[in-house]
Structure 1
Amino acid sequence: MSTYDVAVIGSGPGGYVAAIRCAQLGMKTAIIEKYDTLGGTCLNVGCIPSKALLDSSHHYEDAVKHFEEHGIEIPGDIKINFEKMIARKASVVSQTCDGVAYLMKKNEIDVFTGMGSFEDATHIKIDGEKSQTIEAKHTIIATGSKPANLPFIELDKERVITSTEALTLKEIPNHMIVIGGGVIGLELGQVYRRLGAEVTVIEYMDRITPAMDKALSKELMKVMKKQGVKFHLSHAVNKVERNGDEVTVTAKNKKGEEVEFKGDYVLVSVGRRPYTDKLNATAAGIKVNEKGQVEVNDHLQTNVKNIYAIGDVVRGIMLAHKAEEEGVFVAETIAGQKPHINYNLIPNVIYTWPEVASVGKTEEELKEAGVEYKAGSFPMRALGRSRASGDTDGLVKILADKTTDEVLGVHMIGARVADLITEAVTAMEYRASAEDIARMSHAHPTYAEAVKEAALAATEDRALHV
């Protein structure tokens, strides 16, 4: 029987990063993955393939709608080779997963393919081509999450689908109905809208992306409406029925009236659930709560002292980069170090176009907490860089403490804000004030100038270019 200092169950961003950091710190490390490829949901059926399709569909939309205004004329009709687009996505996924396999080899991490489950607190059974058991002084559970569903919806994975199937469709839908106005539904909805599908989003709450600042939700919906996406807010879906190639969704609006929507595909995008199936957590004595989350303390340690859990399977927002931070945190904790994570500074991003990004407190959260604050915002349309690229939708909003001027939250929608949000994370990590950001030189012309202008607006209401 092989013995390890650390065994990691799950090879998503949290799991494989945890394994690498453990190996860097001198621990003999194993990683267990039930699928044939490494990388978990994010690399195989999540972050990476969805971004590949978002980029491909964005190029197509630009060619159809925007090239001409830039003086680029393409003779003949612009056509979509959807099969080739999906193949490119698969190639990107393959390259990325191969990269993780390379990193495992480089760091001398033993990879086991099969379903990992606990026999007890120090022994893990691996059911793959053959059954074997390994021993581990410490174990890190990084089994991630699966798409959630509503109890009355039967997912046939053909016409009533999750994000996993939406990434491998054989055809462009005529009318895709998206149940849920969150990140995944909006991203994939925009992909297929760009490619010509009619897209209808049905959301239970009174706004899309309800966890983000209200200003971002409002602006994103305005832009996506302009792009042709239809929205029905405050609608509670209560039935989904398939009849051949047609799917009917029934929902009640806020007046209590039943409304029917008909399409050829329904994407169920109502969040994700922690995945602990077949882990046999009880054999190790690990507590799992009613939400399916593995319970952990502030050190991400379970009630069994040598077992830790990270990522989507524990409390907190389900984001790949949050899982990565937790993976490093646990590896360093096991090694006796004293690492740090500030969960308030984990950025949240939506990769629609325009992109949406946020970090820290929303205006709604500050009001609810009774914190006195000041706000400054700046529209992207006022930037020279935005006018040059044609990406004029969006804004940057900065929230700062009314007394100390410390930045409490930054919320953006616009071109490349997924990259730009890191400026806000850096500033907030060092507890910068709005005036600190306002006094920093920002290159001209850049989208980042909107951050400086929003900081000026928050400091003394003295933005320069509006």
Structure 2
Amino acid sequence: MVVGDIATGTDVLVIGAGPGGYVAAIRAAQLDLDVTLVEKDAYGGTCLNHGCIPSKALVSATDVAHEAREAEHMGVHADPAIDMAGMTAWKDGVVDQLTTGVERLCKGNGVNLVDGTAEFADENTARVAHGGEGQGSESIEFEHAVVATGSRPVELPALPFDGDLILSSRHALALESVPDELLVVGAGYIGMELATVFAKAGSDVTVVEALDQALPGYEADVTRVVTQRAKSLGVDFHFEEAAADWEEREEGLTVVTEGEDGTVSEYEATKALVAVGREPVTDTVDLDAAGVETDENGFVPTDDRARTNVDHVFAVGDVAGEPMLAHEGMKAGEVAAEVIAGEPAALDQQAIPAAVFTDPEIGTVGLTESEAEDAGFSPVVGELPLRASGRALTHDDTDGFVRIVADETDGFVLGAQIVSPEASELIAEVGLAIEMGATLEDLVATVHTHPTLSEAVMEAAANAMGQAIHTLNR
């Protein structure tokens, strides 16, 4: 690749090296296409650097401390101290290992890597501005392009991020000391995960949410288990309150909220974390120059082959909208590359799982019972409470359940909702069942290792058939 003011060419230009982008680049290179991947910040994108990986590292680390601290009734006596700076340093090492690995994988597969910010000049040309003084820019002509510019935290006008008192999730994941008092604005999955992390690390955590429950979009009995566990950790919840203003005080800040009825409340904290959603990053790429359309929220609509309204321009990952999940972006990246290479490929959104890494975890895939009814199915539901699981008892963690939804007529598995330790792992079995068209009988006939949490999936399926052994059938 020639750097400078000379136009160069490539079969596939990928803009953004997050999960969707780097996967698209690697897969396209594997299919013998000439691929150029442009990244302006760090390989791995938000997920590896400031989201999925660092947050889960802190989830794991604080779980270790919390479990040891709470294990006296199991005969374990410990009072671990948390060194937040040391924990953050360990987390950074995990991140560095993965991001370095992504760069090596791209190079090893023959992807041309370019550091800089790419924006479209027209529907077949992009201009790349290189970072640093005197680095210049270059033009890249392409036959196909994949937009994978990701998303960033939504900033509230009333509480703009300053990285000191008012934090985004990115700022919170880089803290080197535990705030005495943390106010979390927003009870979505990011807010709930980080509220749990800092509560276990020793913060007094308060959560304010504009809606009437945590984790909007999940069924009430799913969120109830997680909310109750968070309360047991000392998290204080205030629903139907929106952050309206703030002011600095001597040792932190005071955040003012307004209720739906006009009630005004004030909350003092050392720091405030604002986690009210994410918005697409499209302002750096000049989509208009390529003729690519966005919706009213700035996301890039795509079809089931990841194509935008411009046939040779694709969009994958968060920039393409919900579901804003790294694994969905990865799959979309593969599909985009294969479609570009002339391969038959498409996305099957029905079988894409989601997970929330709270305590306990939440794993979902496919349809809920009400969604199945709305889709015209006659759903049958099976459930196993974790208190009936021997492995959950030996985990000392029995809050939650495994629920399987199937079509009563033919037994085909339609979905699952799991609230459990390792729900993010357990949900994969049901995702596979949906993808391959498996039935309840298939799940029940599959011998599961004992004692394991995965047995709960089998028992929930058996419960839907009226054949459960370890719980009463409905």
Instruction: Report the alpha carbon displacement of residue 157 of structure 1 after superposing the two structures with TM.
Output: 1.8
Amino acid corresponding to residue 153 of structure 1 in structure 2? L
1:215-243 alpha-carbon deviations (Å, 9 max, x no partner): 21111112211222121222233233333
Match of 1:217 in 2: 223
Aligned in 2, Cα 1:457/1:253: closer, same or farther, shift over 3 Å?
farther
Match of 1:45 in 2: 50
Match of 1:175 in 2: 181
Instruction: Report the alpha carbon displacement of residue 433 of structure 1 after superposing the two structures with TM.
Output: 2.2
CA contact (8 A) 1:376 1:461 kept: no
Where does 1:33-432 land on structure 2 (aligned, <5 Å)?
Answer: 33-35=39-41, 37-66=42-71, 68-74=72-78, 78-128=80-130, 129-369=135-375, 371-432=377-438
Return the alpha-carbon distance in structure 1 between the equivalents of residues 234 and 434 of structure 2: 36
Match of 2:443 in 1: 437
CA contact (8 A) 1:3 1:135 kept: yes
CA contact (8 A) 2:19 2:329 kept: yes
CA contact (8 A) 2:460 2:468 kept: no
Match of 2:4 in 1: none
Return the alpha-carbon distance in structure 1 between the equivalents of residues 44 and 434 of structure 2: 30
Aligned in 2, Cα 1:143/1:64: closer, same or farther, shift over 3 Å?
same
Return the alpha-carbon distance in structure 1 between the equivalents of residues 24 and 280 of structure 2: 18
Return the alpha-carbon distance in structure 1 between the equivalents of residues 374 and 253 of structure 2: 41
Q: Which runs of 5+ in 1 are unaligned?
A: none
Aligned in 2, Cα 1:204/1:396: closer, same or farther, shift over 3 Å?
same
Instruction: Report the alpha carbon displacement of residue 86 of structure 1 after superposing the two structures with TM.
Output: 0.7
1:373-411 alpha-carbon deviations (Å, 9 max, x no partner): 222211112111111121222110111223332222200
**Bigger shift: residues 142-151 or 3-12:** 142-151
Instruction: Report the alpha carbon displacement of residue 255 of structure 1 after superposing the two structures with TM.
Output: 4.3
Return the alpha-carbon distance in structure 1 between the equivalents of residues 368 and 452 of structure 2: 25
Return the alpha-carbon distance in structure 1 between the equivalents of residues 238 and 471 of structure 2: 36
Instruction: Report the alpha carbon displacement of residue 139 of structure 1 after superposing the two structures with TM.
Output: 0.6
Instruction: Report the alpha carbon displacement of residue 244 of structure 1 after superposing the two structures with TM.
Output: 4.4
Aligned in 2, Cα 1:213/1:363: closer, same or farther, shift over 3 Å?
farther
CA contact (8 A) 1:213 1:364 kept: no
Amino acid corresponding to residue 328 of structure 1 in structure 2? E
SS in 2 for 1:56: helix
- RMSD (Å) for aligned C-alpha atoms: 1.7
Return the alpha-carbon distance in structure 1 between the equivalents of residues 374 and 254 of structure 2: 39
Instruction: Report the alpha carbon displacement of residue 367 of structure 1 after superposing the two structures with TM.
Output: 5.0
Return the alpha-carbon distance in structure 2 between the equivalents of residues 308 and 365 of structure 1: 30
Amino acid corresponding to residue 100 of structure 2 in structure 1? D
Amino acid corresponding to residue 65 of structure 1 in structure 2? E
Instruction: Report the alpha carbon displacement of residue 287 of structure 1 after superposing the two structures with TM.
Output: 1.3
Amino acid corresponding to residue 113 of structure 1 in structure 2? D
Q: Which runs of 5+ in 2 are unaligned?
A: 1-6
Name which of 23, 35, 52 aligns with 2:29: 23
**Bigger shift: residues 426-435 or 139-148:** 426-435
TM-score between both structures, scaled by the size of structure 2: 0.93
Match of 2:3 in 1: none
SS in 1 for 2:160: coil
SS in 1 for 2:324: coil
SS in 1 for 2:318: helix
Return the alpha-carbon distance in structure 2 between the equivalents of residues 207 and 461 of structure 1: 35
Return the alpha-carbon distance in structure 2 between the equivalents of residues 376 and 241 of structure 1: 50
SS in 2 for 1:3: strand
Return the alpha-carbon distance in structure 1 between the equivalents of residues 288 and 240 of structure 2: 40
Amino acid corresponding to residue 160 of structure 2 in structure 1? E
1:99-157 alpha-carbon deviations (Å, 9 max, x no partner): 00110111111111111111111211111133111221111000000001233322222
SS in 2 for 1:316: coil
Amino acid corresponding to residue 59 of structure 2 in structure 1? L
Instruction: Report the alpha carbon displacement of residue 257 of structure 1 after superposing the two structures with TM.
Output: 2.0
**Bigger shift: residues 365-374 or 168-177:** 365-374
Instruction: Report the alpha carbon displacement of residue 70 of structure 1 after superposing the two structures with TM.
Output: 4.0
Identity of matched residues, %: 38
SS in 1 for 2:465: helix
Aligned residues: 462
CA contact (8 A) 1:212 1:358 kept: no
Return the alpha-carbon distance in structure 2 between the equivalents of residues 301 and 341 of structure 1: 11
TM-score between both structures, scaled by the size of structure 1: 0.95
Return the alpha-carbon distance in structure 1 between the equivalents of residues 247 and 112 of structure 2: 46
Instruction: Report the alpha carbon displacement of residue 78 of structure 1 after superposing the two structures with TM.
Output: 2.7
Runs of 4+ in 1 over 6 A off after TM superposition: none
Return the alpha-carbon distance in structure 1 between the equivalents of residues 218 and 464 of structure 2: 20
